[in-house]
Amino acid sequence: MVSPLRRLTPLVAGLVLAGTLVACSSTPKPDGALNDFLAAWGKGKIDALSLLTAAGTPMTGAFGQKLLTNAEGDLAGKPVKLAVKGKPVVKKNDASAAVAVTWTVTDGVDWTYETTVALQLKDKTWEVVLTPKTIQPDLTTNDKLAVQSTSANRGSILDGAGQPLVASRPVVTIGVEPKVVVDINQVVKNLGDAFKQVNVSADLSGLPAQVRSAKPDAFVQVITLRKEVFDQISAKLNSTPGVITRNSTQSLAPSSQFARALIGTSGPVTKEIMDKNPGKYKITDVVGLSGLQQKYDTQLRGTSGISVVIPQPTGTPDKKLFSSDAKDGATIKTTLDVNMQNAAEAALAGTTQRSAMVVIKISTNQILAVANGPGAAPNNFALTGQVPPGSMFKTITALGVLVNGSATADSTVACPATLTVDGRTFKNAGNEAFGNVPLHQDFAQSCNTAFASLAPKLGATGLADTAKTVGIGIPWSLGADVFTGKVSQNGSPSEQAAAAFGQGTTLISPMVMAGEAAAIARGQWKQPALILDPAPTGVATDGPALPQGPVDALRGMMREVVTDGTAKQLKNIPGDLRGKTGTAEFDSNPAHTHSWFMGFRGDIAFCVFVENGGASTAAAVPIAGTFFNKIGNS
């Protein structure tokens, strides 16, 4: 018979074993608390967690949040990635985990290091022990991380010869120190008189209020001038109590006018730019504000050098934890020729209306000048203008009928004083009428009625189709914004008649017409080049070779414009100048007209535009003459 005591022993053993298993399975792991902490840290908000001090006492959420924010210093709010390396190591009631920390210090610059997160088991719950060393192992009490930067040198914009168009040049910033001012009204007057002397525009109306509200020793900035401009007025300003100056450098073109609308400007980053690009810029950054400087700002700006340090007391070097070297900005190479650009701008200098000139070297297809007159700033009208071409577009109509064989240069095309098409009456400038004359004379004398009568020979799309063969109305890729034209097609009979002499709904830019002139001279259209490096993608494919007979005839007609036609005032310009004038109406008032002239001489193709400049002979043609006189036989 089995003893009762012996029968109970296996049962007791089983209960003991079961109790052991229950005890082991109820011991929590630190992973959950660790992951919760890292997730909260990654969001920068840990005040809802239960945390411990180094002594193992409870830490309030508010204190933990303050400790984290203070320790992170300049990195607080920056993106951070946190990843546990391996499994937490557990020793009784203590645990630790290696964590890889990756901060995005600034755009494109990451700092990665390893830290240790300690945990303690309190009342069967794991809690993180938070100290500055948890955030970064080198931190001690009251330490914080600081980010320091070293600006990169801004890249240059180069001309076609590889020389900098934009370089670091001396400037003088003019300001007012309130405590030195004797008479603020006299300060304003002296500044205004000085600026007027050098043709500088500055709004000084708010300066007295700014000075009154500033601290006594503040520098109330007024304007920054090139040093050579400041030197002309330095005596007057230096003798004015309260006016003070600071010398520095800025990335600037050779002059304040030089290709300013194309190249653009750079300067201190604005609040608006910073707000649109959170975290990308520092308040001290210099950025592109317009033109190529803005379009290629990322390449030109380069990458600042970045260091993460623990600041030390004055006299002691900061402890450097991480650094990346500054990388200077890249260069942007253009095709511009300094002499050609200067000549074009000098030719436009006397215009008060918006004006533009584009110059192309035919043999290389490179754009040598993109000039906008004083009235065009800050818009790059030379490339992006959208205006009717007027009689310049007779080159397209002439090319169309010459190529399709419906007319030759010697075909008789009547030039009456008026022509009515579908109820709309067209007339010539000055009500001229040349009678039954050959097409080449209609072209040279710019007869509107003759060209309006040619519209049916091109059909509904013939004008647009011909324009495309010389680059008008198709996409280009210059590396800068450009308007390549919108040509009338499928219009009513009266619209087609108007379009045949450059009116109607057709719109073009000075750039696209200079490209057409180069195509006629070359015998084939090729997309002009402006930016060489970085080379733009999607450059338009070459146009078809223009038929030799028709293009030779058109060249001859363009020569007659200069020798005996509307541009004959330039017949004594040295060289074989050929071109086409244009006077384009742009509103309901026939007296309001744009002035145009396009053409080529030797290896130079060009287009000149003057907004509301009147007849071509009054504005655009003389400007072209000035340009060619300045460049001589170039």
Q: Let me know the angle formed at the C-alpha of 440 by 439 and 446, rounded to the nearest 5 degrees.
A: 85
Coil, strand or helix at 430 = helix
pLDDT higher than threshold 70 for residue 6 = no
Range 101-125 burial, b when 16+ CB lie within 10 A, else e:
bebebbeebebeeebebbbbbeeee
Q: Is pLDDT of 14 > 80? A: no
The fraction of the chain above a pLDDT of 70, given in percent, is: 95
Considering the entire predicted model, what is its pTM? 0.79
Bridge partners (DSSP) of residue 334 are: 531
Residue 317 lies in a domain: no
Domain end call among 200, 235, 252 = 252
Residue 234 has a pLDDT of: 95
Check residue 15 and give its pLDDT: 33
Task: Quote the CA–CA distance of 525 and 235 in Å, as a whole number.
Answer: 55
Residue 3 has pLDDT above 50, yes or no: no
Task: Give yes or no: residues 121 and 185 share one domain.
Answer: no
pLDDT score at 417 = 96
The answer to whether residues 388 and 525 belong to one domain is yes
Task: Quote the mean pLDDT of the chain.
Answer: 92
**Statement: residue 9 has pLDDT above 60:** no
Total domain count for the chain? 3
**Number of other residues whose CB lies within 10 A of the CB of residue 594:** 27
Split at pLDDT 50, 70, 90, the class of 252 is confident
Helices 338-348 and 620-631: crossing angle, nearest 10°?
A: 140
Convert the pLDDT of each residue in 464-508 to its tens digit: 999 999 999 999 999 999 999 999 999 999 999 999 999 999 999
Element (H, E) at 168: strand 167-176
From 110, 144, 178, the end of a domain falls on 144
pLDDT tens digits for range 541-558: 999 999 999 999 999 999
- Same domain for 122 and 89? yes
**What pLDDT does 228 receive?**
93
The greatest distance separating any two alpha carbons of the chain, rounded to the nearest whole angstrom, comes to 146
pLDDT in tens, 433-443: 999 999 999 99
Tell me the per-residue pLDDT of 227-245, one tens digit each, with 9 for 90 and over: 999 999 999 999 999 999 9
pLDDT: is 6 or 101 the higher one?
101
State the residue range of the domain holding 537.
Answer: 338-631
**pLDDT over 80 at 256, yes or no:** no
Distance CA 206, CA 214 (A): 12
**Tell me, what CATH number does 347's domain have?**
3.40.710.10
On whether both 173 and 97 belong to a single domain, the answer is no
Q: How far is CA 278 from CA 59, 275, 376, in A?
A: 33, 6, 33
Confidence at residue 18, expressed as pLDDT on a 0 to 100 scale = 38
Count of other CB atoms within 10 angstroms of residue 345? 22
Name the pLDDT band for 633 (thresholds 50, 70, 90). Answer: confident
Q: Kindly state whether residues 130 and 246 are assigned to the same domain.
A: no
Q: Residue range 323-347: average pLDDT?
A: 95
Tell me, yes or no, whether 176 and 130 share the same domain: no
Average pLDDT over residues 293-318: 93
pLDDT average, residue stretch 261-284: 86
Q: How confident is the model at residue 10 (pLDDT cuts 50, 70, 90)?
A: very low
State mean pLDDT over 257-274.
88
pLDDT tens for 337-381 read 999 999 999 999 999 899 999 999 999 999 999 999 987 556 899
State the average pLDDT over residues 20-32.
66
In this prediction, residues 52-71 reach a mean pLDDT of 96
What CATH number does the domain containing 181 carry? 3.90.1310.10
Which tokens belong to 436?
A: 């039954």
pLDDT > 50? residue 2: no
Q: For 451, phi and psi rounded to 5 degrees? A: -75, -30
Report whether pLDDT(20) > 90: no
- Higher pLDDT: 112 or 123? It is 112
- Give start and end residues of each alpha helix (H) in 460-608: 462-469, 493-499, 510-522, 548-563
Q: Give the CATH number for residue 106.
A: 3.10.450.50
The predicted-structure confidence for 511-539, as pLDDT tens digits, reads as follows 999 999 999 999 999 999 999 999 999 99
Element (H, E) at 364: none
Are the C-beta atoms of residues 197 and 233 closer than 8 Å to each other? yes
Return the sign of the alpha-carbon dihedral for residues 531, 533, 536, 540. positive
State yes or no: pLDDT of 282 exceeds 90: no
pLDDT at position 377: 57
151 lies in some domain: no
Residue 2 covered by a domain = no
Average pLDDT over residues 406-422: 97
In this structure, are 476 and 623 located in the same domain? yes
Q: What is the DSSP string of 81-136?
A: EEEEEEEEEEETTEEEEEEEEEEEEETTEEEEEEEEEEEEEETTEEEEE--HHHH-
Q: Are residues 140 and 171 in the same domain?
A: no
For residues 628 and 574, give the distance between their C-alpha atoms in angstroms, rounded to a whole number.
8
- Structural domain includes residue 281: no
Rounded to whole angstroms, the Cα distance separating 187 from 223 reads: 14
